[in-house]
Structure 1
Amino acid sequence: MISSGLFFAFFDAMSQLLKPQSLKTKPEKVRVEPFLAFGNKETVFVKGRVISSYRERRPSSRNSWIRNIIASIRRYSVFSVANAKVEIMLHEKTFEVETDEDGVFEKQIEVRNPNPGVVEQVNFKVKSPATKNKSVWVAKGVSRFNQKTGVISDIDDTVLISHSTELGKKFWLSISKNAYTRRPLPGVSKFYRALTHNGENPIFYVSSSDWSLYDLIRDFMRFRNIPLGPTLLKDKHINIKNIWKSGGGSHQHKLEKVQRIFDLYPNMKFFLIGDSGQHDPELYAEIIKSNPDRILAVFIRLVGSLEPERKANLEKIIGLNNFFFIESSDEALELASNHKFLEQ
């Protein structure tokens, strides 16, 4: 088997051959890439970034690994625009926000939907820096939720096979596969559709993957018939020189993102789903301590075996009632049925 070091060297060599200039990416062309527009009856939270504009063909299940690597280089060759000013329009009300050092912006908007029966859209446009071509509005559909039950799930090794604990395998998967060739955990679509009542209840995804993978994740979910929902990723900008850091580093940002969801939906209770490969059990334990009445159950997919000391430490913190360590989606579905969670 080829070593991970050789993979990294190969990818770096390819990235040097395919500089952004050769990818027809012109620095003077920038655009808004919207990620999030969701909320409750009173409030909408929006998030996106300002990046260099480039064209990329839709992936295919027939793409070779070389073509997928080139597509990965294209994805990570875009540059983010710090301190850009973005105009936001929702129901004829306008707002302005500035991007941070990673080109990311976010804003919480207090606007009710004047026509609840009509699908809402929020619009974004780059105000500055000025570009050679006139900036255009980019639209994003708004999702408002008022259900009593929701799901919050991790993605890597919870929904999507990622091998997050093995750097070489993780890196190779991330660059050589696309949305239509990445594989889900067996049975995850059936389990998530049952837990959300076939999409009637909302699901939120919180992951340490970076925003450059947003389109891949969304296309993957659609292709695999996994319920879609607001997807909250890690803000730090990843480029072609540090692509293998995607999904790594501190995962504490997940706590902030989960707390934002809790704050937007104070009357909603949640199922939490993650895996034992990184720090999901400990993070979810912290969430339970801070919000003891908001969690219906936790499902942790086992990656390898769980050390007895780790399990004992978790039990000391929160106890393990309705905190399930599972080996498969079928097992999770059976537990959910036996505990009548599917009736929530």
Structure 2
Amino acid sequence: MGLFRRRDPLQIIVFQTYGSNAQLYVKGRALEDENIDLTKKNFIHLLINSWKRFETDVIGNCALKLKLPNGDVHEFKTDGEGYFLLSLGKTDLESMCNEEGWLAFEVSYAEESIKRTIQLENRFPGEMLVPSSDSDFGVISDIDDTILQTGMVSLLKWRVLYNTFLKTPERRIPLAGAPEFYHLLHRGASGEKSNPIFYVSNSPWNLYLYLEFFLRNNNFPKGPILLRSLSAFFKRNKLKGPDDRPHKINEILNILKTYPTLSFVLIGDSGEKDADIYLEIAKMFPDRIKAVYLRSVRHKKKMLRVRGLFTEYKAIPVLLVEDSDQAIEHAKANGLIMK
């Protein structure tokens, strides 16, 4: 469809990303505003909103502008699916961050891209995390069945469909104690740090606003949410070689590469592939992984397999936990959080 035949107002969804003092990294998508209300509880509205999240009208090959707090402006374009990725070498980005390390900026449509009336103001906010140099460590966490019950281990994955399409993020309940545990990790052993939290999921980018709302509504520490394209979502997650790794491994490796002096805590669940992925990462970077926490799932066969993976592995602490209290107790004993 052509850009200029569209009638709905335009919007730009800017994903929360991460970078460094010398690297600006901005990612997002330009598309029509489908007016999705994430708080709607009516069954019909749930179905309509679910359809809208995946039936998106994108603004492809369109010129955009980025404006930084210091007045610098950078121009770039979206790809054919409306996505954009801007990675620039910069200097002294930390001076523009707030005390939690977030750099705020604005993205807008370039004037030559706007050939029809926009009902919304042509200013769309975005944020990039620049972790503090005195962070104790970073946290890389799965979302699905780790902090949000999705039903990935259910028969035929029917609970995944029900929870994703027929529940608003406002009605989704986080796993007990998870927000408290993540805030303790965020503040570190002294209780005064701003340790970065990275949320990695196999969900498609179409669910970004849904997951962002859920995390914010349930008081999780703010952090970049790293998802994947809808086309990749339907591909099987097989490890075929160094150039064809699963989404989660690539995201974790990118984070480790971006912050070469920072160590990490990995959090996931025992239901799918988190145990395999985290074990591979721990073997690759044994000096940079402080601990691995895996939430136990109610699936005997999967739990037996996961326990078998770590039977002979003793290089770093690996804990299979039934609840967040066990993880908190272990983290206190290992000096990760304040006692």
Q: Say which of 9, 30, 35 aligns to 1:55.
A: 35
Identity %: 27
2:308 to 281, 301, 312: 312
Residue in 2 aligned with 1:133?
A: 117
Q: CA 1:187–1:120 in structure 2 vs 1: closer, same or farther (change >3 Å)?
A: closer
User: For 2:282 and 2:80, how far apart are their aligned partners in 1?
Assistant: 33
Q: How far, CA to CA, are the matches of 2:80 and 2:97 in structure 1? A: 38
- Give the match for residue 104 of structure 2: 121
Q: Which sections of structure 2, spanning at least 5 residues, go unmatched? A: 239-245
Cα separation, 2, equivalents of 1:253 and 1:217: 17
Residues of 2 paired with 1:334 and 1:164: CA distance?
A: 27
Give the 5 Å matches for 1:154-169. 154-166=142-154, 167-169=157-159
Secondary structure class of the residue paired with 2:16: strand
Residue type of the partner of 2:72?
K
Equivalents in 1 of 2:214, 2:259: separation in Å? 27
Root-mean-square deviation (CA, aligned residues, Å) is 2.8
The answer to whether structure 1 residue 86 and structure 2 residue 68 are counterparts is: no
Q: Which amino acid aligns with 1:42?
A: A
Extract structure 1 runs of 4+ deviating beyond 6 A. Answer: none
Label 1:28 to 1:221 Cα distance change in 2 as closer, same or farther (>3 A): closer
- Number of the residue aligned with 2:45: 67
Q: Where does residue 107 of structure 1 map in the other structure?
A: 86
132-141 or 258-267, larger mean C-alpha shift: 132-141
Q: Deviation at 1:315?
A: 4.6
Q: What are the superposed Cα offsets for residues 107-137 of structure 1, whole Å, 9 maximum, x if unpaired? A: 2222223844767422222347554136823
More displaced, 181-190 or 97-106? 97-106
Identify the range of structure 1 (83-92 vs 31-40) with the bigger mean alpha-carbon deviation: 83-92
Which runs of structure 2 are paired with 1:314-333 in the superposition (5 Å)?
Answer: 314-315=310-311, 318-319=313-314, 321-333=316-328
SS of residue in 1 equivalent to 2:337:
helix
CA 262–59 in structure 1, closer or farther in 2 if over 3 Å, else same: same
Amino acid at match of 1:165: V
Q: Which one is further off, 69-78 or 117-126? A: 117-126
Q: Tell whether the 8 Å contact from 2:21 to 2:94 is kept in structure 1 after alignment.
A: no
- 1:151–1:270 Cα contact (<8 Å) kept: yes
CA positional deviation for 1:313: 4.0
Contact persistence 1:102–1:235 (CA under 8 A): no
Deviations 1:271-322 (A, max 9, x none): 0000111111111122122222111000011222345455434555x54640
On the 8 A contact 2:206/2:230 being kept in 1, the answer is no
In structure 2, the partner of 1:96 is: 75
Q: TM-score, normalised by structure 2?
A: 0.81
1:16-55 mapped onto 2 (5 Å cutoff): 26=6, 29-55=9-35
**3-state SS of the aligned residue for 1:341?**
coil
Match of 1:173 in 2: 163
CA gap 1:162/1:141 in 2 versus in 1, 3 angstroms: same
Distance 1:182 1:86 in 2: 35
Separation in 1, partners of 2:206, 2:124: 18
User: Structure 2 residue aligned with 1:250, among 228, 237, 261?
Assistant: 237
Unaligned runs of 5+ in 1: 1-24, 239-244
2:129 matches 1:143:
yes
* Alpha-carbon contact 2:64-2:107 (below 8 Å) kept: yes
Counterpart check, 1:342 vs 2:337: yes
| Residue 208 (str. 1) matches residue 202 (str. 2) | yes
- Residues 107 and 172 from structure 1, CA distance in 2 versus in 1: closer, same or farther, beyond 3 angstroms? same
Contact 2:19 2:129 (8 Å CA) reproduced = yes
Q: C-alpha deviations, 1:239-264, integer Å up to 9, x for none?
A: xxxxxx67x74271111211222222
Aligned length in residues: 310
Distance in 2 (CA, whole Å) between partners of 1:319 and 1:200 is: 29
Moved more, 151-160 or 178-187: 178-187
Corresponding residue SS for 1:222? helix
* Contact 2:78–2:84 (CA under 8 A) maintained in structure 1: yes
Q: Give 2:243's aligned residue.
A: none
